[in-house]
Amino acid sequence: MTTDVFTDNAVTTLGANVTTTPVSGTSETWTITSTGAPLPQITTGQQYRVVVGPTSDTTPEIVIVTAILSSTSLTVVRGMGSVANVKTHSAGDAFSHVIAAGVMNTAAATVSAISSGTPSNPVTSASATRPTNLPVVYWACATQPTNMAIGDYWDQVAAGPTAITVANTSSLWTGANGVVLSNSTGIEHGGVASLVMTAPVTPQATNGNAYLSTNQSCTAAVTYIFTAYLQASAAGRQGWVQLNWENSSGTFLSTSTGTTTTLTSGTFVALTITATAPSTAAQVTPVFFYSVTAATDLPASEPCYFSGS
């Protein structure tokens, strides 16, 4: 992100004529009397804006300085005012640093987004490390952030569902209905190798499924979300996910089942379920299913690739 920087009383003059009139947004190298202070001394990722022309010019050109090349030369972007006004200039014309409308409009839009609670990237954890590259941070979380700064905005929102995540390790999962689980080679999701569930040589059921071999603890009445990513190896396949709830003794209580979704051959599809744990639940087992839609059994040795997170 490029940042506008500012200094006071930053005025100098052009050191050479500018004879070109390119389209707005064109970068050029210009010569001025001096690029030193009080003009802003910018580095990578910084810029400042300048009005160029004699004081008698009522429609001067605004340029953006993007780099200092030497003590007398710099890179400018032409015609960057609300009206381009690209024109020729003479040596000796004023070169005056200003706070242009473009800067103020951007700032106003940012403040508006913050005050309306609709920024593009809110910080959603009250205990998160405060981003140091943002002058104002928008927090969207249930409790007040512990490290807010002056100017930050906090939108108190209800806590979202607790995510259930399971690593892509075959030892954490157990296959059912005769399917075989193994680590895949070359099929990745999110840069991590997926797992592969393969139907048995002699099909035994219309769906294959895998479930977590060790139940995860949960809290009664808390809402959870679980997502499994499945990739079919043929057309006409479906998938869905479910959560099996148990009490502290391991006694089965109930099942929450997600929506059946048509899978895509060669592409991972996200299957998600959001459910609230029963009042006596203490353990939860995430399960996913892979099935055919127009055959009695899964074809022998057909793989399905999946990722638990």
Q: What is the pLDDT of residue 194?
A: 87
Other beta carbons within 10 Å of 168: 20
Report the distance separating Cα 90 and Cα 40, nearest Å: 23
Query: Got the DSSP string for 158-207?
Result: ---PEEE---S-GGGEEEETT-EEEEEEEEEETTEEEEEEE--SS---SE
Q: What is the pLDDT of residue 127?
A: 81
Q: What is the pLDDT of residue 246?
A: 95
In the chain, what are the domain boundaries?
3-102, 117-156, 164-307
- CB-based burial of residue 220 (10 Å sphere; 0-12 exposed, 13-18 middle, 19+ buried)? middle
Give tens-digit pLDDT for 60-96: 999 999 999 999 999 999 998 888 899 999 999 999 9
Is the per-residue pLDDT at 309 higher than 70?
no
Other beta carbons within 10 Å of 281: 23
Query: What number of helices (H) and strands (E) belong to the chain?
Result: 1, 22
CATH number for the segment(s) 164-307: 2.60.120.260
What one-letter code names the amino acid at 264? T
Q: What is the pLDDT of residue 113?
A: 47
* Residue 145, preceding peptide bond in cis (omega within 30° of 0): no
pTM of the shown model: 0.50
Average pLDDT over residues 15-42: 94
Locate tokens 């993007």: which residue? 66
Average pLDDT over residues 230-248: 89
Q: What is the pLDDT of residue 280?
A: 95
Average pLDDT over residues 242-265: 93
Confidence band for 293, pLDDT divided at 50, 70 and 90: low
- The dihedral over CA atoms of 56, 57, 58, 62, expressed in degrees to the nearest 10, equals -140
